[in-house]
Amino acid sequence: MLQLILAALFFTGLHFFVAGSRLRGIIIERIGEVPYRVLFSLLSLGGLFWMIAAYRSAEYIELWSQPQLLKPVAVVLMAAAFLLAVAGLTSPNATTTRIDALLRQEEPAQGILRITRHPTLWGIALWALAHLIANGDAASLVFFGSILLLAAAGTASIDAKRKRLFGDRWQQFTQVTSSVPFLAIIQGHNRFRLSEIGWWRVLLASTAFALVIHLHSTLFGVSPLP
C-alpha cells in the first residue's frame, strides 16, 4: 500500500505542482516548450505505470461492501464516460492545443462542447467514479480517487490558464458553455443538439464500451455487469 500511496502522490503532485502551477512557465523558459512537453509526458507515463503496478500488487483492505445494486449505476457512468472521452478526444475542446482556432469561430461551443467544455476530463472522472462505486477497498480508493481528484481539479486549472492566456475571448466562450456537464444547457446559455456530436462518435464510443465490458472479466478478473 505504501508504494501505491507514493506513486499516487508523485503522479498527482506532478500535475498539481508542475503542470498546474506557475512552475510550468518557469521550466518552459529554461528548457523550451517542446522539451518540457516531452519530459512531462515521460514523467506522467512513468508515474501512471508506477501507480498501476502498485495498485495491482497492493493488499486487499475492504472499506465498504459492494452491493450488486450499485453495479448498474457504475455501468451507466461508464457508458457516459466512454461517450464523453471519445467525443472529447476527437473534437477541439478546452484541453487541446487547437483551442486558439476554436475560440476564433463564430459559434465555438458546438457538439460535445454544448454539454461540457472539458469532455475528456469528465470522461476520465466518471470512469474513476464508476470504479470507486464498484470497488470497496483501500487500494481502489487511493488509485481511482487520485485520478478522480486530478481530473476534476484539472478542469478548474485549465480554465484558469486559458483565462490568463486568452482573456476576453475565453470569457465569452465560458458564457455559452460550462465545465459541469449540462449546466450551461440547464441555465439556458446553450442548447442540446445530439446531431452535432456525430453518429460515428456515438458508434465508436458504444463499440469501445461494449468491447471493454466483454473483455473485462478476462483482463481484470471481475465482471462489471450485475
Residues 51, 35 within the same domain: yes
Same domain, 142 and 183: yes
Predicted confidence at residue 93, as pLDDT, reads: 73
Q: Provide, rounded to the nearest whole percent, the portion of the chain with pLDDT above 70.
A: 97
98 and 138 in a single domain? The answer is yes
pLDDT exceeds cutoff 70 at 97: no
Residue 116 CA, chain-centre distance (Å), reads 12
Residue 15 domain boundaries: 1-58
Split at pLDDT 50, 70, 90, the class of 70 is confident
Contact predicate 125/151, CB 8 Å: yes
In a domain, 25, yes or no: yes
105 and 46 part of one domain:
no
Q: Is the pLDDT of residue 69 over 80?
A: no
| Residue 226 maps to a domain | no
Q: What is the pLDDT of residue 11?
A: 94
Q: How far is CA 179 from CA 46, 60, 163, 174, in A?
A: 29, 35, 14, 8
Claim to verify: residue 26 and residue 116 sit in the same structural domain: no
- 206 shares a domain with 108: yes
- State yes or no: pLDDT of 67 exceeds 70: no
Pairwise pLDDT comparison (203 vs 25), residue with the higher score: 203
Give the count of domains, the chain.
2
Across 114-128, average pLDDT? 94
Quick check: 95 pLDDT over 90?
no
Are 54 and 65 within one domain? no
| Residue linked to cell 478526444 | 89
Are 72 and 174 members of one domain? Answer: yes
Of 58, 83, 100, the position where a domain reaches its end is 58
pLDDT in tens, 179-197: 999 999 999 999 998 888 8
What digits encode the pLDDT tens for the residues 14-59? 988 888 778 888 888 889 888 888 999 999 999 999 999 999 999 9
Q: Are residues 34 and 46 in the same domain?
A: yes
Burial of 218: CB neighbours in 10 Å, binned 0-12, 13-18, 19+: exposed
- If asked whether residues 117 and 173 sit together in one domain, one would say yes
pTM listed for this prediction: 0.88
Distance of CA 22 to the CA centre of its chain: 22
Short-list 153, 8, 140, 11, CA closest to 64: 140
Looking at 58, 77, 106, which one is the last position of a domain?
Answer: 58
**16 within domain boundaries:** yes
**Is 75 among the domain residues?**
yes
pLDDT at 74 over 90: no
How do residues 157-180 score in pLDDT, each as one tens digit?
Answer: 888 888 888 888 888 888 889 999
